[in-house]
Structures are given as structure tokens and as C-alpha cells.
Amino acid sequence: MSETAAKSHKLASAVYLITGFFGDHEPMKWKLRDLSLNLMAENGKDKSSIAREILSLFGIAKNAGLVSDQNYEILSQELTKFMKWLENPLKSIFIEEAAPLREALPRPAERESIKDNYIEKRPIDRPALKEFGVVSVKKNSRQSIIIALLKRKKEIMIKDVSPLIEGCSEKTIQRELLSMVAQGILKKTGEKRWSRYSLA
């Protein structure tokens, strides 16, 4: 597999992973997946222009609340690196990757001081694993769908949201909406069956 094919394969995999959180009814999901397949094709249109189009669509998806800022930033960086690499593969390999290597190598004067400068290892604070579990991802996906719907409609009810979120009961959606109200993302008007939610 060539270097270009390997890089485009990784990018296409990332696109598929991220768009997996989009609903099947979302046309952008299928457009992004088609573009990622074109990116992998040996004889397609200019890979750089495809990468730019993918980046542009992900920017729209981020603004619509379909993609988290963090996922957008990571994908944006990787697509930008890929486009630079396509412009001049040899320059990218020898200049960009050699710089960190040169900085990492000790200079002759530093070699003697390495053994004298022992640094005690300290434990690293890491967030709890449950923050990154499946439930967290599903919850963020539900919230993204709710926010995207509210950007299109002024107010929503639970019945507006339930057809869009597969595998969730109306009670789960109600808890999600109330959680978003508690976080200050949404505001609630009305009681019981007549509750309406809007962006805060």
C-alpha cells in the first residue's frame, strides 16, 4: 500500500467513525462517506480538493452541533497535514518529521548530565474511565441531535425528538432534556405532557 493510500485510508476510517454518530436521515453523513471513499480511490479527482471539501463539510457539521469541537479540531489538523503532504510528499517527510527528531537527540555536551539529572516519576492525574464510556458517547450524540433540532425549530416537545433518536424511550429523552435544562443549555416551559423546550 502506498503512503498516499495509507494516509487516505486512515482519514476515511476517521470520517466513518465520526459520521457514525450522525443519524441515517442526515444527508451530510452519506456525502462525507462518499467523499472519503473518493479520497481512497486510485483514479479519482484531485485528492487535495476532496480533502478540502471534507474539511468544509465537517466545519458545517461542527456549527450545526453534529460534531464536537475536539473531533473537528483533530480531523481538521489531519486533513491539513494530508493536503500539505500531497503538495510535496518528500518535503513533508524530510523536513517536518526530522525537526522533532533533531530536538529529541541529546547534544554531546548534554550526554554527561543526563545521568546526573534523575527526575522522580510522579503519578499522572487522569480522568475516570467512565467519562469516556459508551453511555457518555451516546449521551453526547443525543444532545447533539436535540441541539441541532432546536437550531431548526424554535421549540420542541419530547414527541418531536423521539423519532430522531433510535433506541431511546421517551422517558430517556425526557431525562436528557431535563438534564440539559439543569445544565443551562435549554429552558423549559409548561408542565407534564405540555412541556416545551427551547435553547437557553
Kindly report the number of other CB atoms within 10 A of residue 141's CB atom: 17
3-state secondary structure 21-86: CCCCCCHHHHHHHHHHHHHHCCCCCCHHHHHHHHHHHHHHHHHCCCCCHHHHHHHHHHHHHHHHHH
The pLDDT of residue 139: 66
- Nearest residue to 177 (alpha-carbon basis) of 143, 149, 148: 143
135-199 shares the fold of 3-96: no
The pLDDT of residue 142: 85
The pLDDT of residue 196: 92
pLDDT averages per 10-residue partition of the chain, 200 residues: 79 88 88 87 75 88 87 88 77 48 50 52 52 54 86 88 84 90 91 87
The pLDDT of residue 48: 84
3-96 — its CATH code? Answer: 1.20.1440
| Class of domain 135-199 as given by CATH | mainly alpha
Single-letter amino acid, residue 156: I
Task: Check if the beta carbon of residue 52 is closer than 8 Å to that of residue 35.
Answer: no
The residue extents of the domains of the chain are: 3-96, 135-199
